[in-house]
Amino acid sequence: MSNELILHVWDSLTAADVIYSFSHLNARINSLLSEFCELYKQLDLRYCSLSVCRFLCHKVPTMIEWRLGLTVLKLGNRDRCSQMDMFADEVAKSIVRGHFARQGKSFNNAPKNIFRILMTYT
Contact status, residue 25 vs residue 58, Cβ threshold 8 Å:
no
d(CA 79, CA 113): 33
Neighbouring residues of 95: CB distance < 8 A, sequence distance ≥ 6: 61, 117, 118, 121
Domain ranges of the chain: 1-42
* pLDDT (average), residues 47-72: 78
* pLDDT (average), residues 3-25: 85
End-to-end Cα separation, the chain, in angstroms: 45
pLDDT of 86-98, one tens digit each? 777 777 777 777 7
120 pLDDT higher than 70: no
pLDDT of 66-111, one tens digit each? 767 778 888 876 666 677 777 777 777 777 777 777 777 766 655 5
> How many C-beta atoms lie closer than 10 Å to residue 65's C-beta?
17
Q: Where are the beta strands (DSSP E) in the chain?
A: 42-44, 72-74
